[in-house]
């Protein structure tokens, strides 16, 4: 069977930056086993398969090289930006059907995409000792003033606060231990951050580890940064009504600089809407025999 599709770098700050994703259109003809084989052959952290939908404009399924996931931020951004660049859709709002629900996607005239996330769910807090060991860090290198907490805006991530960028860059994770802890708590992986970004106009500097799903480190993650934005709002104790915007940096140590925008609508302590988005570039076709 001949497989045709595209690759694209989502959340890219510049050419060569961002997180690469695979995209296969007209995927209704493919079985789940074939989707898994295609994702594994492409070898990206996620590949999106685009199908017809009754409740939405498009139905998307997302596969890592190992597993299917309910939602993928960077593959969604990449897919809708690709459709915009290819002239398949116009500027405006669309609905995508996913295993995390039917979610809104907004495309602008420059092919930038913002996607709606699920409302946040704040889970358990985890002891610093357990997490520090899996990151090969002393407990003192984890921020003493903020919790290590499971947060989901579609996928469960463990948000890990670190005091400074030097520690974030230098850490050498134990991926086997992270995998074991991810299984134990039912999470996708760790989203490690500090509030010491390279660009002082931005919010946070991040690294993401998801070895349970075959991803040692990911250069840009939409769902994780959506969860991080909700976490930062939650710990800030904002008591007003309005909108707040964060910009997260990721992938710099991998030489794939990425910027992920997070927008929250809130009323007092309650988050009413979560959107994540950014740019995508380096759209390229591929073809191979499965």
Rg of the chain taking only CA atoms, in angstroms: 18
CA end-to-end span of the chain: 5
**Residue 233 and residue 241 in contact, taking contact as beta carbons nearer than 8 Å:** no
**Residue 245 and residue 276 in contact, taking contact as beta carbons nearer than 8 Å:** no
Q: Which two tokens stand for residue 1?
A: 């069977």
**CA quadruple 71, 75, 77, 81: dihedral sign:** negative
**Residue found by looking up tokens 């710990």 in the block:** 235
- How far is the CA of 29 from the CAs of 3, 37, 51, 161, in angstroms? 11, 14, 9, 44
How many CB atoms neighbour CB 136 within 10 A? 13
Which residue, 248, 272, 275, is CA-closest to 263?
A: 275
| Residues belonging to the active site | 46
Residue 227 CB-density burial (10 A; 0-12 exposed, 13-18 middle, 19+ buried): buried
Q: Say what angle helices 73-85 and 222-236 make with each other, to 10 degrees.
A: 120
């Amino acid at each position: 069977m001949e497989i045709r599709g595209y690759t694209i770098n989502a959340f890219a700050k510049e050419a060569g930056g961002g997180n690469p994703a695979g995209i296969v259109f007209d995927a209704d003809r493919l079985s789940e086993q074939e989707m898994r084989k295609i994702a594994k052959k492409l070898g990206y952290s996620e590949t999106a398969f685009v199908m017809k939908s009754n409740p939405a404009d498009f139905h998307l399924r997302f596969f890592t090289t190992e597993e299917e996931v309910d939602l993928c931020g960077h593959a969604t951004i990449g897919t809708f930006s690709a459709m915009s660049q290819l002239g398949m859709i116009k500027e405006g709002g669309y609905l995508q059907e996913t295993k995390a629900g039917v979610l809104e996607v907004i495309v602008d005239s420059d092919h930038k995409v913002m996607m709606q996330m699920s409302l946040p769910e704040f889970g358990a807090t985890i002891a610093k000792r357990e997490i520090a060991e899996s990151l090969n860090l002393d407990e003192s290198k984890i921020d003493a003033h903020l919790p290590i907490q499971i947060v989901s805006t579609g996928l469960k991530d463990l948000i890990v606060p670190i005091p400074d960028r030097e520690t974030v860059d230098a850490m050498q994770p134990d991926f086997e231990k992270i995998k074991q802890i991810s299984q134990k708590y039912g999470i996708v992986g760790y989203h490690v951050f500090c509030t010491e970004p390279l660009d002082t106009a931005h919010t946070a500097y991040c690294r993401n580890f998801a070895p349970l799903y075959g991803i040692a480190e990911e250069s840009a993650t939409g769902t994780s940064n959506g969860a991080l934005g909700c976490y930062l709002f939650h710990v800030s104790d904002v008591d007003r009504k309005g909108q707040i915007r964060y910009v997260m940096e990721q992938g710099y140590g991998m030489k794939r600089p990425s910027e992920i925008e997070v927008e929250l609508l809130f009323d007092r302590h309650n988050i009413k809407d979560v959107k994540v988005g950014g740019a995508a570039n380096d759209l390229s076709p591929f073809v191979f025999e499965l």
